[in-house]
Amino acid sequence: MKISTFFGIHWLRALFERNFNRWLAKRIPSQSEHSLNSNNILIYPTRFGLGYVAIVTLIFLLGTNYQNNIILLLSYLLASFFISVMLHSFYNFSTLRFNSVNKQHGYVGEVISFPINITTKKQHYDINVLFADKQLINKSLTNKVSLAIAKKGTHTVLLPFQATKRGLQKIGRVIVYSEYSLGLFKSKTILDFAHHAIVFPKPKSLVAGQYQLSGQADEPVIESYHESTHSGSDDFSELKSFVTGESRARTAWKQLAKGQGHFSKHYQGSQGQLQWLKLSDMPGNDIETRLRYLSFLINELTAVNQVFGLDLHENSITGNSAKNIAPNTGFDHQQACLIALALYP
């Protein structure tokens, strides 16, 4: 009996939520910018508001039972005050404008912040911002960001998201609410910025020698590309500041001896063969661990400005180039590689 009612409630709730979400998607579609008006503001009484209504009803009963006109008048006054407060709440909440960048990156275990810009035309009070997804809230440190007073102008709040899992994380909607002016009503909106986080695997350091960079011998297309771009090999190109982890063999000893600083010699195509980071080369059985090693190596190689490519095939034999990222260097390349790691199935 008890179980069936429980399931009944559960089912009803699920039905309600589905319908509500559908309604919400229609009412407040995904946008990078939202402006609050009567279409997207929900106002409903808080628990205090319901308590207030209860007290007003009680006062009404008191007045009726004592046939006391003044108490009745007081209850009517309190009741219509309730409605005035609702409108004041709405007034405080409307005309707010929000915009936000929908994509953020970060590593597993990090707190990723989603900045939300709030533009106000007048003074607003008690603006609270949080993610709608309750599962996200529980894990994060502080679940809501409050703005006790928002003066005219633009304000930025940072919504923290604790990244726990590698991959593309859809964060869902953002709840903005305010209980101003008297806490009787909650003015609320559930905005959809299509927020998502791309969570990279957490770097796991590899001891040197545990891996080696290898060429992509059996890839003629890449090979020819390599040949065309890198005509002569071992041509000295520049001196760069020494970065910890670089081979001592490349140290520019002359300069070091002269006391001009620790530099390392860099050669055009000095890495000899084109460098490929291969998933199949990584130690460990677990795919996640291997991805973490790759994450570490990508960062390391980017730090020393080394050109490298990324091969995400699980075994070295497959000839599909779709999971490859052509060798390159720099921040964009790093991001592209990390994203590829994050999105690895």
User: What is the binding site for other proteins (CB under 8 A)?
Assistant: 47-48, 51-52, 55, 58-59, 61-81, 83-85, 87-88, 90-91, 122, 125-126, 129, 142-149, 151-158, 179-183
User: Closest CB to other proteins among 159 and 252?
Assistant: 159
Shortest separation between residue 96's beta carbon and other proteins, angstroms: 14
User: Closest CB to other proteins among 48 and 296?
Assistant: 48
User: Closest CB to other proteins among 127 and 198?
Assistant: 127
Shortest separation between residue 132's beta carbon and other proteins, angstroms: 17
User: Closest CB to other proteins among 48 and 211?
Assistant: 48
Shortest separation between residue 121's beta carbon and other proteins, angstroms: 9
The 3 state secondary structure assigned to the chain is: CHHHHHHHHHHHHHHHHHHHHHHHHHHCCCCCEEECCCCCCEEEECHHHHHHHHHHHHHHHHHHHCCCHHHHHHHHHHHHHHHHHHHHHHHHHCCCEEEECCEEEEECCCEEEEEEEEEECCCEEEEEEEECCHHHHHHCCCCEEEEEEECCEEEEEEEEEECCCCEEEEEEEEEEEECCCCCCEEEEEEEEEEEEEEEECCCCCCCCCCCCCECCCCCHHHHHHHHHHCCCCCEEEEEEECCCCCCHHHECHHHHHCCCCCEEEEEECCCCCCCEEEHHHCCCCCHHHHHHHHHHHHHHHHHCCCCEEEECCCCCCCCCHHHEEEEECCHHHHHHHHHHHHCCC
User: Closest CB to other proteins among 148 and 257?
Assistant: 148
Shortest separation between residue 165's beta carbon and other proteins, angstroms: 25
Give the Cβ contact number of residue 38 at 10 Å.
8
Shortest separation between residue 46's beta carbon and other proteins, angstroms: 9
User: Closest CB to other proteins among 60 and 267?
Assistant: 60
User: Closest CB to other proteins among 85 and 198?
Assistant: 85
Omega cis (within 30) before 181:
yes
What's the rounded Cα separation, in Å, for the pair 100 and 35?
Answer: 12
Shortest separation between residue 188's beta carbon and other proteins, angstroms: 16
Shortest separation between residue 220's beta carbon and other proteins, angstroms: 56
Shortest separation between residue 27's beta carbon and other proteins, angstroms: 21
User: Closest CB to other proteins among 180 and 308?
Assistant: 180
